[in-house]
């Protein structure tokens, strides 16, 4: 198999270019994928060129090869260093996000079926959980096994805590709904009794009014008729007020019955 021979001066220039690339790379606080790809490509190309390049003497060959290995080592050392630093930063950020959306049921105050943590708060916690899982999924390749295991464990714990909340929330919601239904049913029952009492009372008032009107029509005493007319006027006022109250009760009943139907 024939190999293409390279001029050693060109190879030395390639090593100098690589050195400049690595020096620039060493100033980075995080890995830039495109720059690292160029460095990797240059390293691989120079490595292959050494096999196809003849140097004037062995010392020149050894010195340039040693220089190349040192530059390559610097590149990978810095990559590993900032990868480790970025991994720790990423790990800390994901852990903080997960801890922030953890639902602690033992500190959540429950009174009369009401949870201290609101539904909207848990929806926001759910969004934070999704964001943390996405961040982890996109970057887990730079994390070590211990970090990944701890994050997986905390994700499972947070998911369980959210499930616990929604179970309690649904139970408390059912309890509150039943409580409201019971309150409305009790109010309906009382208002139905009130309505019947008012209707009975109205019937008595109307009966008295009819009797009084008959007596007034058949009376020959003007003085008694005048008094009876006053009584009749009072009865009519009472009847009017009673009818108004009946209308109010019927309106209350209609509203509550509609609420009850919507709840069931």
CA distance 66 to 44: 15
Q: Give the pLDDT confidence score for residue 1 in this predicted structure.
A: 40
Q: What is the DSSP letter of 151?
A: H
pLDDT digits (tens, 9 = 90+) for 5-35: 788 999 999 999 999 998 988 887 666 667 7
What is the maximal distance between C-alpha atoms in the chain?
Answer: 153
**More confidently predicted of 113 and 118:** 118
What average pLDDT is seen over the chain? 86
Query: What's the full length of the chain, in residues?
Result: 264
- Output the pTM of the full model: 0.48
Across 73-82, 104-113, 241-250, which has the greatest mean pLDDT? 241-250
Q: What is the DSSP letter of 32?
A: -
Q: Which of 16-20, 70-74, 166-170, 189-193 has the lowest mean pLDDT?
A: 166-170
Is 80 exceeded by the pLDDT of residue 4? Answer: no
Which residues, 6+ apart, have CB-to-CB distance to 264 below 8 Å?
181
Across 10-24, 75-89, 177-191, which has the greatest mean pLDDT? 10-24
Both tokens of 178, joined, read 């039943």
CB 49 within 8 A of CB 11: yes
Q: Give the pLDDT confidence score for residue 263 in this predicted structure.
A: 75
Q: pLDDT over 90 for what percent of the chain? A: 50
pLDDT digits (tens, 9 = 90+) for 212-259: 888 888 888 888 888 888 898 999 999 999 999 999 999 999 998 988
Q: Which of 72-86, 112-126, 188-202 has the lowest mean pLDDT?
A: 112-126
Task: Give the start-to-end residue ranges of the domains of the chain.
Answer: 6-93, 111-263
How much is the average pLDDT of 40-61? 92
Task: Classify burial at 138, counting beta carbons within 10 Å of its beta carbon; exposed 0-12, middle 13-18, buried 19 or more.
Answer: exposed
CA distance 91 to 53: 45
């Amino acid at each position: 198999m024939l190999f293409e021979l390279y001029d050693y001066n060109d190879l030395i220039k390639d090593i100098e270019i690589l050195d400049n690339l690595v020096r620039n790379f060493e100033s980075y606080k995080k890995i830039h994928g495109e720059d690292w790809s160029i460095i990797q490509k240059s390293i691989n190309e120079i490595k292959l060129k050494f096999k196809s390049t003849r140097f004037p003497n062995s010392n020149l060959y050894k010195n340039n090869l040693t220089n190349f290995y040192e530059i390559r080592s610097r590149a990978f050392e810095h990559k590993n260093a900032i990868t480790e630093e970025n991994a720790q930063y990423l790990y800390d950020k994901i852990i903080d996000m997960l801890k922030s959306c953890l639902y602690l049921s033992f500190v959540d105050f429950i009174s009369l079926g009401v949870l201290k943590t609101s539904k909207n708060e848990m929806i926001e916690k759910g969004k934070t959980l999704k964001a943390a899982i996405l961040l982890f999924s996109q970057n887990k390749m730079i994390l070590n096994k211990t970090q990944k295991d701890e994050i997986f464990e905390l994700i499972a714990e947070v998911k369980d805590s959210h499930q616990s909340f929604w179970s309690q929330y649904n139970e408390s919601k059912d309890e509150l709904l039943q409580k409201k239904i019971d309150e409305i049913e009790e109010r309906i029952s009382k208002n139905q009794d009130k309505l019947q009492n008012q209707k009975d009372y109205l019937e008595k008032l109307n009966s008295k009014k009819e009797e009084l009107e008959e007596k007034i029509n058949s009376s020959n005493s003007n003085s008694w008729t005048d008094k009876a007319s006053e009584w009749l006027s009072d009865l009519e006022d009472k009847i009017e007020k009673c009818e108004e109250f009946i209308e109010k009760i019927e309106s209350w009943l209609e509203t509550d019955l509609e609420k009850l139907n919507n709840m069931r």
